[in-house]
Amino acid sequence: MASSWSTFLFEVANFVLLVGVLSWLFFKPVRSFVERREQEFAQQREQAEALRASASAELEDAHIVRQQANDLLVEQQRALEEHRQRELERVAAEIHKLEEAAHARVERELEAKRRSLRQAWSHDVVTWTTELTQRLLQRIHGPELHRALVLRACEELTVLRNREEIVDPVFELAQPLDDDEQERLAASAGIPRGRLVLRDVPQLIAGLRMVSAQGTIDASARGIAGHVERELSARMAIGEAEHVEAP
């Protein structure tokens, strides 16, 4: 029984000794290996964390860059749209100016044509009226018309002589005067009958025309037609001016 306990204790001691030797020989390197591996794992984890942080930072930077690129693209698109809108407005304004200029040019051309037509019409009216007046006076030409025009000339001569002396008058006659008409004419002019200067001008149709330094008295049928022509031309000119000034 005692030897059994001795053997048991001896085996236990051998086991403990074996464990101690094995621990001293193997456990310490294993523990060192494990510690190294843990350090390596820790370093790897730190590197992985650093890489992940770097990747996150780069990803954030990429997101910022992409956002900046999007903002720049939006800004460029807005600027491009504003430029396009300004160009459209400029082109529209140019087209409007061209349309206004073309409209004004057309209006000026139409007004010039209308004015030309009115002037031509006015000239034709004056010409026709003058010719009609002359033909009318030629048709009614006779002693009564001639005498009436001579008497009218005598009245105007009297008015002129009362204002000033008539010097060297020359009388142009459509037809010869009788003695009574010559006497009346000399008395109206304030000169002797023998000093009357008479010239035949058949183109006057009827009546007479006096020319002197003091002026001209035209009491002839042709003078009446000329007066009608001048009066009508003046009235046409006034009407044209009023038409131009009208808005």
Low-confidence ranges of the chain (pLDDT < 70): 1-3, 5, 19-31, 34, 114, 117-143, 232, 234-247
Map out the domains of the chain as residue ranges: 120-245
Kindly report, residue by residue over 96-139, the tens digit of the pLDDT: 888 888 888 888 887 777 677 666 655 555 455 555 555 555 55
Distance separating alpha carbons of residues 115 and 243, to the nearest angstrom: 9
Helix axes 221-245, 28-139, angle to 10 degrees: 160
DSSP 20-63: HHHIIIIIHHHHHHHHHHHHHHHHHHHHHHHHHHHHHHHHHHHH
pLDDT in tens, 37-53: 778 777 888 887 888 88
